[in-house]
Amino acid sequence: MGRPRAFDEATAVASAAALFASRAYDGISVDDLVNHLGVHRNSLYQTFGSKRGLYLRALRWHLDEQVRPALRRNATFDNGLDFLLLAATERAPADPEVATEITRILAEFDEALTAPATSALLGDHLRARLSR
């Protein structure tokens, strides 16, 4: 029998989402993840399979726990849209699974806000990120 997991998986996924939102997929190494999450490299690989596996879990968590609830409430995006924007521009063109997730959430934005409002909202968030 293996050792019990020494970290909370949900907390690690949320923390990884924040890290990916700050520096994007290519800007983060496995060492960065291990240090930021406070997990052992082997634990990270055993739990998530790979950096990409953790990225996909973190992206889905971000969409399910932060973006969709705000979209349903027609609320502000207090947790930001940085991860969504980075995923759309950096990973979606190169990763079909990410592209599928982004296509779904953008359709949900368009349904909730209409396409021009979606473009304006995402454009405003992108401009704000660039001015930081």
- Of the two residues 83 and 127, the one the predictor is more confident about is 83
pLDDT of 7: 84
Least confident of 16-20, 98-102, 104-108, 124-128: 124-128
Q: What does pTM read for this prediction?
A: 0.90
Domain-wise residue ranges, the chain: 9-131
The residue type at 101? E
Distance (Å, rounded) from C-alpha 45 to C-alpha 54?
9
pLDDT at 100 exceeding the cut of 80: yes
pLDDT of 79: 73
DSSP state of 93: T
Give domain 9-131's CATH number out of 1.10.1740, 1.10.10, 1.10.357, 3.30.2030.
1.10.357
Residue 74 makes CB contacts below 8 A (sequence gap 6+) with 112
Q: Which of 72, 100, 76 has its CA nearest to residue 88?
A: 100
Q: Which of 103, 108, 18 has its CA nearest to residue 55?
A: 18
DSSP state of 7: S
pLDDT of 77: 81
